[in-house]
Chains A and B, each alone.
Chain A
Amino acid sequence: MDEHPGGGGGAAAGGGMATARQQQAPQQGNHNAVNPQIGPGGTASAVQQQDEMPRPQQYTIPGILHYIQHEWARFEMERAHWEVERAELQARIAFLQGERKGQENLKNDLVRRIKMLEYALKQERAKYHKLKYGTELNQGEVKMPSFESEDTKETEVPAVPQNSQLTWKQGRQLLRQYLQEVGYTDTILDVRSQRVRSLLGLSGSEQNGSVETKNLEQILNGGESPAKRKGQDMKRNPGDVLETFNFLENADDSDEEEEDEEGDLMEDLSNRTDKQRIKKHKIKVGNEGLASDLPDDPDTEEVLKEFDFLVNAEDGEGAGEARSSGDGTEWAEPLPFPSGGGKSFIMGSDDVLDSVLGLGDLADLTVSNDEADYSYDLPANKDAFRKTWNAKYTLRSHFDGVRALAFHPVEPVLVTVSEDHTLKLWNLQKTVPAKKSASFDVEPIYTFRAHVGPVLSLAVTASGEQCFSGGIDSTIQWWNIPSSNVDPYDTYDPSVLAGSLLGHTDAVWGLAYSGIKNRLLSCSADGTVKLWDPQEKMPCLCTFNSEREHGIPTAVDFNGCDPAYMVASFNTGSAVIYDLETSQSVVEFSAQKDSSLPAGNHINKVVSHPTLPVTITAHEDRHIKFFDNKSGKVIHAMVAHLDAVTSLAVDPNGIYLMSGSHDCSIRLWNLDSKTCVQEVTAHRKKSDESIYDVAFHPSKAYIGSAGADALAKVFV
């Protein structure tokens, strides 16, 4: 070393070393050879090499230099790698962005299509309704969906943060306006938004963005500006939006209204997607709160579980999400999950929406529905908006036409009488599992046998514990109704038959019961109307029309306002009000003598309004007539059906009238306007006859119809 400082230091480390080694080898190989270049230096260097090998910690300049060169080369290589990688990633990013844009466009196109379809559907419905009823369907404003603003809104997306406040205020105003057009008053909106907020854990009526922003930040893990933007979204009054989505669970008539709202909402596309995202955040946030508040609804739990997934996904992707700009497509992955489940949450009547929301991309809508679903007390709201009755239960067991039916006063239970000589008791909660899920088949829980011959009429007492049936055999049987949980195949209990009321000499066509004083009225083909008190030893208290002065009675009813009076209808077309205490006729609603049909005056049914002094009659000549009890004059007469009107029923609140006819249709009429609000087709015709009886449930939302096809149907 000392001998060769110059040699080692002078040359480049690698070169020096190599030269030294090269020289060393020949030197080692041939110690005798004289190398004029190196001489003693070479020998010394050979010695030095040998010395250096076993001592690596001795740094030489060449060694260091060599090492540094080596490392530098490595770094350069790695840098090159990184550059390549970055270029690759950048390319990928560009590709994904492009894809996302493509999806965006696709979504917009589909949305546009939906709006057009909705509009077309609304037009069709309006046309159809106009043709059917001659009146306009109340759809709210049927606006042609406008698309021009969509594109502009897209480009505005990056600029949204700046003028978000203004845009959203405007949007909100617009929403309120539309809702008012539909008929929502501000009070309803406020009440609704209150409820929604309380349910979702928001405080009071303030648009308190801070609570939400805090929660959002927990989830998003940073990204201040997006969180703030979301905070501003909160102020957009989610309550309003949710109210509009509440339409989606209502019946058909409301469908058009809400679709209209959505159509207009769509214009504000970016805002909408923001809202949806916010709602999703809120859903996640409120998961725990909601889970405890909500009833044990398996559907709801499913929904919440799905959103748990979203929460978990969110936490991992928080940072990335915060950076992306506000569009719905970032949800592309989690969306398919709610869409599958979400569709099932839409109420059965919303067939249109089902098809509309079949698109996975638009699962946003579905998600909002779910929230709307469990944000409200459904029954309370439904009463205000339900306008249509749908067939729910089919009661099959009779062998021949069902002549009459009556509901139990409180339970979901009804009794039917049939021409197969039996009465049957049905419990709507005991349904048979059926193939179709929309409607249920019901089997009877008890069969009453005592009549000889077809049973024609039925009356249930006010307590629901007993009933009376009248038949062709001119007897009235008095029954104790078994409990609604009775085993259908239990032992025979003769005490179910409480007694028989005998007195008529011909078929008993009509029965009516009054809980006050426990009285029963019956009318028979023998021409008489009898008043009974079943508890008495001699139950028949009084007989009316013994001389057939008015004809043959066809139906009877107690006066709704004053049960000391009763009204009876006759085959001559007249109806008479009798005073039960004096047994005298008080008012006579005389028939019009000039009816085109030969037996056109025949009245099939008479009912007395529960609260107003009005009597309503159903005629064989398709008319329904309204009479004033005091004056005896016709208030209103209308052609109600295409065939004879066979039955009438007034709802317990006195608002609607239901009529059944041999034209296979049941019609619901609003008593104030005397217009038909719904028509339901039910029951096949059997030898020109179709519906024999209709009835309302006194306390629940059920209506029933009895048909000649041996079926009874219950609608909800």
Chain B
Amino acid sequence: MVMAEGATVVRRNRPGTTAKYIQQNIRSDCSNIEKIMEPPEGQDEGVWKYEHLRQFCLELNGLAVKLQTECHPDTCTQMTATEQWIFLCAAHKTPKECPAIDYTRHTLDGAACLLNSNKYFPSRVSIKESSVAKLGSVCRRIYRIFSHAYFHHRQIFDTYENETFLCHRFTRFVMKYNLMSKDNLIVPILEEEEEEEEEGGQNPSTGESEA
């Protein structure tokens, strides 16, 4: 029964559809990244990636809510992580230097539009080959939210990460499916997984990077 179960379970979960399956795994143990990442038998890989990305965008809303309190346009006037790169927001006709909180909101809204658009993703049971490339660019932009939060709003990042392990999961996700180049993964994951990631951020050239 939906309503009587109140705060704990919102709906009757049954691993029928992919989204439900992922959500159930997350709900049961959000730190068990291996289990969450493992696709079930016969799962189409494109759909798996797509549904995971949707789930990431969904959960990132929580981080965005927290950031809204602390990340102000006057303190974080640009979207940066480390000092070398300034990220331009791709949600506008010409890439714009949005303040960090705007970048975060616009990127999440833009990802919502893209992932839900009938043009690129008309079906949730099979993904067009041409649209798989879009997933990579969405991942790249989403990752910058993590990196900005890590380097500029550390406390919020840590609290949120401890609750959800979202950045860990995201990093593992993009590496597993090669959705981003490793150079871009600049948020240091915990020591026990250090062999899998790089201490990046030593980009020689300063400049502006557009999405």
Contacts and interface: CB of A to CB of B under 8 A. Distances in A.
A509 B58 CA distance: 21
B7 A506 contact: yes
Nearest to A396: B116
A525 B3 contact: yes
A571 B6 contact: no
A399 B68 contact: no
Interface in B70-118: 73, 89, 91-92, 98-99, 101-102, 105-106, 108-110, 112-113, 115-118
Interface in A427-452: 432, 434-435, 441, 443-444, 447, 449-452
A533 interface: no
Nearest to B67: A449
Interface stretch (A22-30, A172-180, A415-423, A586-594): A415-423
Given A396-B118, A399-B58, A687 B12 contact: yes
A449 B68 contact: yes
Contacts of A489: 89, 91-92, 102, 106, 109-110
Contacts of A599: 1, 4
A554 B2 CA distance: 11
Given A525-B7, A687-B16, A687-B17, A421 B68 contact: no
A688 B115 CA distance: 24
B109 A420 contact: no
B1 A602 contact: yes
B118 A434 contact: yes
B14 interface: yes
A491 B3 contact: no
Nearest to A494: B68
B64 interface: yes
B65 interface: yes
Contacts of A450: 65, 68
A592 B153 CA distance: 56
B197 to A, nearest CB: 27
Interface in B114-135: 115-119
Given A488-B109, A489-B109, A689-B2, A452 B14 contact: no
A604 interface: yes
B22 to A, nearest CB: 11
Greatest chain A CB density within 10 A among B58, B64, B99, B108 is at: B58
Contacts of A552: 3-4
Interface residues of B, number: 44
Contacts of B142: none
A215 B2 CA distance: 72
A604 B4 CA distance: 11
Interface in B1-59: 1-4, 6-7, 10-14, 16-17, 19-20, 54-55, 57-58
A174 B112 CA distance: 60
Contacts of B207: none
Contacts of A474: 7
A454 interface: yes
A214 interface: no
B74 to A, nearest CB: 12
B65 A441 contact: no
Interface in A212-265: none
A397 B6 contact: no
Contacts of B54: 399
B119 to A, nearest CB: 8
Nearest to A401: B11
Given A421-B65, A687-B12, A525 B117 contact: no
A599 B5 CA distance: 12
Interface string A441-484: 10110010111101000000000000000001010000000000
A457 to B, nearest CB: 11
Contacts of A571: 3-4
B61 interface: yes
B62 interface: yes
Contacts of B64: 449
B102 to A, nearest CB: 5
B68 A491 contact: no
Nearest to B98: A491
A506 B6 contact: yes
Contacts of A488: 109
Interface in A521-553: 525, 552
Contacts of A687: 11-14, 16-17, 20
B3 A688 contact: no
Given A525-B3, A602-B1, A687-B14, A492 B91 contact: no
A710 B11 CA distance: 14
Nearest to B66: A452
Nearest to A418: B58
Contacts of B62: 421, 452
A611 to B, nearest CB: 29
B65 A451 contact: yes
Contacts of B109: 444, 447, 488-489
A432 B117 contact: yes
Given A421-B58, A432-B117, A571-B4, A688 B99 contact: no
B65 A452 contact: yes
A399 B55 CA distance: 7
A220 to B, nearest CB: 54
Contacts of B101: 492
A507 interface: yes
A686 B58 contact: no
A679 interface: no
A400 interface: yes
B112 A397 contact: yes
Contact of A420 (B1, B3, B58, B106): B58
B145 to A, nearest CB: 13
A449 B109 CA distance: 11
Contacts of B91: 489
Contacts of A449: 61, 64-65, 68, 105
Contacts of B14: 687-688
Greatest chain B CB density within 10 A among A434, A492, A509 is at: A492
Contacts of A394: 118
Nearest to B101: A492
Nearest to B13: A687
B118 A441 contact: yes
B7 to A, nearest CB: 5
A504 to B, nearest CB: 11
21 contacts: A394-B118, A398-B116, A399-B58, A399-B115, A420-B61, A421-B61, A447-B109, A449-B64, A449-B68, A489-B89, A489-B109, A492-B102, A509-B3, A602-B1, A686-B17, A687-B11, A687-B13, A688-B12, A688-B14, A689-B11, A710-B116
Interface of B: 1-4, 6-7, 10-14, 16-17, 19-20, 54-55, 57-58, 61-62, 64-65, 68, 73, 89, 91-92, 98-99, 101-102, 105-106, 108-110, 112-113, 115-119
6 interchain residue pairs of minimum CB distance: A525-B6, A396-B116, A399-B58, A421-B61, A489-B91, A420-B58
Given A400-B58, A489-B106, A686-B19, 17 more contacts: A394-B118, A396-B118, A397-B113, A399-B54, A419-B10, A421-B58, A447-B105, A447-B109, A449-B61, A454-B10, A472-B7, A489-B91, A491-B73, A507-B7, A552-B4, A602-B3, A688-B12
